[in-house]
Amino acid sequence: MTSLRPRLLAAASLSVALTFAGTLMTGTVLAAPTGVMTVATIGEPPSLDPMSTTADLVGTITQHVFETLYAFDANWTLKPLLAAGEPEVSGEGKVWTIPLRSGVTFHDGSAMTGDDVLASVKRWLAVSPRGKTVAAVLEEVSVVDGKALRFTLKKPFSPLGSLLAFNNGAAVMMPKAQAEAEGPLKTFIGTGPFRLIEHKPDQYIRLEAFAGYTSPAGEASGYAGKREAKVAELRFVPTPNAVTRLEGALSGQFLYADALPTEMKSRITGKPGVKPVVVKPFAWPFMIMNNKEGSLANATLRRAIQSALSPEDMLMAAFGDPEFFAVTGPFYGKGAALASTKGAESFGTADANKAKVLAKGAGYTGEPIRIMTSTQYDFLYKMSLVAQQQLEEAGFKVDLQVLDWATLVQRRNDPKQWDALFTYHTFVPEPSLITIMNPAYAGWWDTPEKTAALDAFNSDANPSTRSVLWGNLQDVFFKQAPTLKIGEFYSLAAASDKVDGLNPAPWPYFWNVSVK
């Protein structure tokens, strides 16, 4: 069981029913939460520290316990969460002042103060891959009169608001003492609608409705607006085998089964008591290459790898049904604010002969290309098998390493252990949130051309010019081939008919959800 602070244990002895006879900040009387929401996940999370990792599984679970200053609504617009309003941006875009909500309570019963927020943000800047992106352009972060957080930047940085809203590698708020404790996070006290009560690794993570929760204002929309814990307990059950997740959903053992292979949709559709959940858009699948060490630190060899592979073949093998994928090169398609085809003109054209010529020019002599993959994400594993075959047909030697997901996530931080890996990135509206754009993230794409294009994009807040600047950065991405983008895909999950109020979302959330 995860250790909890004494004040939190004392708070746990209070009657949930009695406390929930309180009111929301709007004055609406809350009903006591009832029932248990069971969620089957793809496995044991590598951590429960939402700052330290960008793993989607961690963000999915911990977003119920910890909260950020802002959140995305259903239209991917920023809305206040622990902030009291929109940031005031001054000083030619270099000073951001964020008002803080009052009356917010941590799970240990203490009130959130400006000092807590400042300590939390400083920890985020130091330990989070996303926070380090901000730290690189930060001059100072401070609290103003205990009521606002102020970022003073070295130069304009338009993605700051989105980075403060994202739920993995997240800028979450926690008590000052917890934020300033040395080493890995050992206690998990946040402000969210649920609090952590028990964690048995590889068995379950139990969250309980937090009786002292104060919701942000506004109508519920996406991750923003009203949040209410309607179930008494939220239980995440690591279930690495997809068939087990599906069978558990069909039998009623699980009320929600996440990340199912798309061919399972036919087994869900029309079955009593359960329904398919499709999230679109959902994510970009990636084959990330090690730009820092090993054979693929050679850009010409990366381009050879890119030339050898067919995204369409990989997507078809992974999903089988075009309903669940699109063979598309641009990150943002027609109609999006950042739509651009620049750099993606030759996307999807596999040419083994071209790959051989490029590999020879790069000095490739047959050393094994170490590729990490995992069967816990069935579609990624299937993609990696196609990649192995096509690379070998183009003359490469492949060492395909099949790992459990937690081990893959751990190993990807060591550039000496791998050359490429299969993963995916959930759709985000702001390109700077894409982890591969961060030079500190696994893959370590860090070139002068990329830095210049990214800096120009991040320094511009004008929507009309940002789309052009994004096109320039996308062009560099395809020419330098730090990562192979394999189109886009849509996710499948299964939900019980007993679940009410569930909205499909890239990182499923279970506040405002009840169990009949």
Average pLDDT over residues 357-386: 96
Say whether both 153 and 213 belong to one domain. Answer: yes
- Is residue 249 in a domain? no
Q: Give dist(CA 235, CA 36) in Å, integer.
A: 7
DSSP assigned state of 429: S
Is 285 found in the same domain as 374?
A: yes
Beta strand 369-373 with 514-515 is unpaired
For the chain, give the number of residues.
Answer: 516
Q: For residue 20, is pLDDT > 60? A: no
The mean pLDDT of the chain is: 92
pLDDT greater at residue 438 or residue 510: 510
- Range from 45-54, 185-194, 431-440 carrying the lowest mean pLDDT: 431-440
Residue 26 confidence (pLDDT): 44
Per DSSP, 441 falls in state S
pLDDT at 6: 35
Work out the number of other CB atoms within 10 angstroms of the CB of residue 452: 13
Count of the separate structural domains present in the chain = 2
User: Are 375 and 452 found together in one domain?
Assistant: yes
Determine, yes or no, domain membership for 344: yes
Where does residue 464 fall: left (phi above 0), alpha (psi -120 to 50 degrees), or beta otherwise? alpha
234 and 290 housed in the same domain: no
User: Tens digit of pLDDT for each residue in 245-303?
Assistant: 999 999 999 999 999 998 899 999 999 999 999 988 899 999 999 999 999 999 999 99
Q: Domain limits at 393?
A: 281-490
Residue 361 placed within a domain: yes
Q: Which pLDDT does position 248 carry in this prediction?
A: 98
The answer, yes or no, to whether residue 13 has pLDDT greater than 50, is no
Omega of the bond leading into 368 within 30 degrees of 0 (cis): no
Same domain, 223 and 319: no
Q: What's the CATH code of the domain at 59? A: 3.40.190.10
12-18 long-range Cβ contacts below 8 angstroms, 24+ apart:
12/197, 12/208, 14/211, 16/208, 16/209, 16/211, 16/232
Q: Which of 26-40, 57-71, 458-472 has the lowest mean pLDDT?
A: 26-40
User: Does the structure show a pLDDT above 70 at 24?
Assistant: no
Determine, yes or no, domain membership for 263: no
Q: Within this chain, do residues 310 and 235 fall inside the same structural domain, yes or no?
A: no
139 and 15 in one domain?
yes
Evaluate if residue 432 carries a pLDDT over 90. no
Confidence grade of residue 337 (pLDDT, cut at 50, 70, 90):
confident
Q: Looking at residue 280, what is its pLDDT?
A: 87
Residue 380 has pLDDT above 90, yes or no: yes
The tens digit of pLDDT for each residue in 482-509 reads 999 999 999 999 999 999 999 999 999 9
